[in-house]
């Protein structure tokens, strides 16, 4: 191979690698924007569905950003609970990684707030009953 073709190949290789790096960086930026948008949508949906009074009652709450698996954690009676996104606005309430109740959809279920409170209440009452206390 002569020097001219080596030079042309070298320049072409540099341009291809540069474009691939630019595309990779652009994809990372798009993914980050999508991740932030997903987290913000989840937070707004949870706040809108549960309402200020419920959030104030379980305060403090923490939102955790994890691409397409957002969550909100809070404590009640020295126990940590997590509202975990499964897909879209389908969520489940968990304690120590154990699902409580059943999954419910924040987007399409008009009873989501009541479902959340019912599942949380059942978990708290079950603990109280097991300890011999009353709620």
pLDDT at 131 over 60: no
The pLDDT value given to residue 128: 61
Express as a percent the part of the chain with pLDDT over 90: 77
What φ, ψ does residue 13 adopt, rounded to 5°?
Answer: -60, -45
Reported as half-sphere exposure (CB side, CA atoms, 13 A), residue 102 has a value of 6
The pLDDT value given to residue 1: 73
Q: CB count, 10 Å around CB of 107?
A: 11
User: Over the stretch 22-32, which tens digit does the pLDDT of each residue have?
Assistant: 999 999 999 89
Task: Provide the β-strand partners of residue 63.
Answer: 72
User: Over the stretch 76-123, which tens digit does the pLDDT of each residue have?
Assistant: 999 999 999 998 899 999 998 899 999 999 998 899 999 999 999 999
pLDDT at 132 over 90: no
User: What pTM did the predictor assign?
Assistant: 0.75
Averaged over 40-68, what is the pLDDT? 93
| Angle, in degrees to the nearest 10, between helices 3-58 and 112-130 | 70
β-pairing verdict for 61-64 and 71-76: antiparallel
d(CA 22, CA 11): 16
The pLDDT value given to residue 134: 46
Please, are residues 91 and 100 in contact by the beta-carbon 8 Å criterion?
A: no
d(CA 4, CA 97): 63
């Amino acid at each position: 191979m002569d020097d001219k073709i080596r030079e042309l190949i070298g320049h072409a290789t540099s341009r291809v690698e540069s474009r691939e790096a630019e595309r990779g960086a652009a994809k990372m930026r798009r993914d980050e924007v999508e991740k932030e948008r997903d987290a913000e949508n989840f937070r707004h949906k949870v706040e809108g569905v549960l309402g200020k009074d419920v959030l104030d009652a379980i305060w403090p709450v923490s939102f955790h950003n994890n691409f397409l698996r957002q969550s909100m954690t809070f404590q009640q009676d020295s126990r940590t609970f997590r509202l975990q996104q499964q897909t879209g606005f389908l969520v489940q309430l968990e304690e120590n990684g154990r699902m409580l109740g059943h999954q419910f959809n924040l987007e399409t279920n008009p009873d989501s707030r009541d479902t959340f409170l019912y599942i949380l209440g059942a978990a708290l009452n079950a603990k109280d009953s097991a300890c011999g206390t009353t709620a």
